[in-house]
Structure 1
Amino acid sequence: MNRFREKTVLVTGAASGIGLACARRFLDEGARVVMLDIDEATLRKAVAGLAQDRVLVQVGDTADKATAVAAVKAAVDSFGRLDILINNAGMATEGDIMHTSEDDFARVMAVNVAGYFHMAKAAMPELVKTRGSIVMTSSVSGLGGDWELFAYNTSKGAVSNMVRAMAMDAAKDGVRVNAVNPSFTVSRMTEDMVSDPELVAEFRKRMPLGAPEDPEGVAAAMAFLASEDARLITGVNLPVDNGLMASNGQPHQ
């Protein structure tokens, strides 16, 4: 497929996991991709082997407004336009409210919420020009709670409603805003979980299609939401979760 030929996509958190899978997917479908991440060394390794004439590397912290402004400017300066923003960069800390420090809470909110705000605000004027779209990485944790992930749950709940609010406001300008809500997905953030056989087995009991999820599967859903195939879809939080939400998190009997 070449659904994104001549289109420019900006992906945050692009050095690994869902972000890297998204960058590869959009490149495979003909797009030019700006890959933004805070981890320059990992990002440079990730870019090796990709279509260099259609990739632009940007390094920065999405919690910083200047990073967002610079990344959008670089996309337009290099490729002439911006059609799609993949708001994906994120982080998590463990702990309930009593064991979450003020600094940890502030940092999670700065990256997972303010970072998405900065990126979307910087990108929106260009997306209005191209009648483009935004796809955000939220989480099933933004649709329901988890134990011991207070800050992360709070941030993803904010993202899920940010999508709805932004979609309503942006529709008049022809810009669509959606989110995917993955569950347990293989990434740097879940390395410890993936390496725990008992935990993986417990997730498998609760996911009708099994666990963990592969980043490429999540990226496929994000590419659909960003494409013209989803032209009638906006304001949606799409669970991409191996059926976890359908099962209400209940284990197989």
Structure 2
Amino acid sequence: MRYFTDKTIYITGAASGIGFESAKQLIKQGAHLVLFDVQPLDDALSALQGLNKHNASISTYELDVTDAEMTSTKIATAAAQCPPDILMHFVGITGPWTFDKMSQAQFERVMHINLFGTRNVLAAVRPFLERGDQVMVTASMSSFTGSYGYSSYSASKFAIWGMMQSLNYEWKPLGIDITVFAPPPIDTPLTQSEVGVMDAAGVGMKKLAGELNIEEAVKSMLKGVENRSFLVVPGVMANLIRLQLRFFPVSWVNWIGNKAAAFSAKK
């Protein structure tokens, strides 16, 4: 028996990327999966059924997390059948535009999906969480430090970090543990969508944190959930940057960032 065996795990953003990889690793451990995504889940379901050696249950729901009413309804429907032991929330989009090139609609879309979508999922699942249950929310290294071309994305992820710290104070005494997954760039369709869109300076600054293999990143996240860790930051370079942010003056951090952006822009 492994930690996730026979646990019911709700996964948002399960059709692709980190959500799908998490579902693959969890089904191999015998977890029961409840999958949500605005994208079709047929291909993901077929792949997971091929890995389902423990005859765990798998159910799917179409879900747009920006629709608060739909989110509440779909999660309540799922919980009536099988309430969650763990929520893993992965839905998010990138925003690889400089502030001067970004429209108001682009900025608002990033905030609606990343921030308000996270809030909607948490509010919808909260009535079904009991003592001992867990919540894992995906943030980013951009929750702690800005980056060239990431003003909308960083704004959304900074807000998620603050929200989850506050919820930890509120829910921890009730026996509900929170994990915040804050990775550097991971090779997923999300990061691939930035190719040809993000300016060279932004690409260069992202490379400072290093790009992680998706399988290893998910293993780190799952280990953090198993240990009931509040913060999981995978990757050596990402942790060095995190330490720099904690122990060096902001003026030093900004100097390094400005130099990195200037150097990358010249390439």
* TM-score, normalisation: structure 1: 0.83
Kindly state the Cα deviation for residue 94 of structure 1 after the two structures are TM-superposed: 2.2
Partner of 2:104: 102
Give the superposed CA RMSD: 2.7
Q: Is the 8 A contact 1:10 1:86 kept in 2?
A: yes
Question: Which consecutive unaligned segments of at least 5 residues does structure 1 have?
Answer: none
Q: Is the 8 A contact 1:138 1:179 kept in 2?
A: yes
Kindly state the Cα deviation for residue 203 of structure 1 after the two structures are TM-superposed: 7.5
Measure the CA separation in 2 of the matches of 1:202 and 1:149.
Answer: 13
Structure with the bigger percentage of helix: 2
Q: Which amino acid aligns with 1:221?
A: S
Partner of 1:183: 184
Kindly state the Cα deviation for residue 65 of structure 1 after the two structures are TM-superposed: 1.0
Matched residue of 1:36: which SS?
A: strand
State which of 209, 231, 234 in structure 2 corresponds to 1:240. 234
Partner of 1:161: 162
Measure the CA separation in 2 of the matches of 1:179 and 1:131.
Answer: 17
State which of 30, 42, 45 in structure 2 corresponds to 1:44. 42
Q: Is the 8 A contact 1:84 1:226 kept in 2?
A: no
Measure the CA separation in 2 of the matches of 1:34 and 1:193.
Answer: 29
Count of residue pairs brought into register by the alignment: 237
CA displacement 1:149-204 (0-9 Å, x = unmatched): 111010011111111111110012100112111111111111255799x99x9689
Measure the CA separation in 1 of the matches of 2:196 and 2:146.
Answer: 23
Structure 1 residues 75, 214: CA separation in 2 closer, same or farther (over 3 Å shift)? farther
Measure the CA separation in 2 of the matches of 1:244 and 1:65.
Answer: 33
Measure the CA separation in 2 of the matches of 1:214 and 1:67.
Answer: 33
Kindly state the Cα deviation for residue 101 of structure 1 after the two structures are TM-superposed: 1.4
Measure the CA separation in 2 of the matches of 1:96 and 1:188.
Answer: 20
Partner of 1:76: 79
CA displacement 1:221-240 (0-9 Å, x = unmatched): 2222322x32xx33x3x222
Structure 1 residues 121, 170: CA separation in 2 closer, same or farther (over 3 Å shift)? same
Q: Is the 8 A contact 1:100 1:150 kept in 2?
A: no
Structure 1 residues 202, 152: CA separation in 2 closer, same or farther (over 3 Å shift)? closer
User: Which structure has the larger Rg?
Assistant: 2
Q: Is the 8 A contact 2:32 2:57 kept in 1?
A: yes
Measure the CA separation in 2 of the matches of 1:241 and 1:24.
Answer: 21
Kindly state the Cα deviation for residue 98 of structure 1 after the two structures are TM-superposed: 2.4
Segments ≥4 residues shifted beyond 3 Å: 192-196, 201-207, 247-251
Matched residue of 1:135: which SS?
A: strand
Kindly state the Cα deviation for residue 95 of structure 1 after the two structures are TM-superposed: 2.0
Q: For structure 1, which segment, 52-61 or 136-145, has the greater mean C-alpha deviation from structure 2 after superposition?
A: 52-61
CA displacement 1:55-97 (0-9 Å, x = unmatched): 1111121111123213322332332x21111111001222232
Kindly state the Cα deviation for residue 29 of structure 1 after the two structures are TM-superposed: 1.8
Q: For structure 1, which segment, 117-126 or 94-103, has the greater mean C-alpha deviation from structure 2 after superposition?
A: 94-103
Identity among equivalent positions (%) equals 22
Q: Which amino acid aligns with 2:48?
A: L
Question: Which consecutive unaligned segments of at least 5 residues does structure 2 have?
Answer: 245-255, 261-267
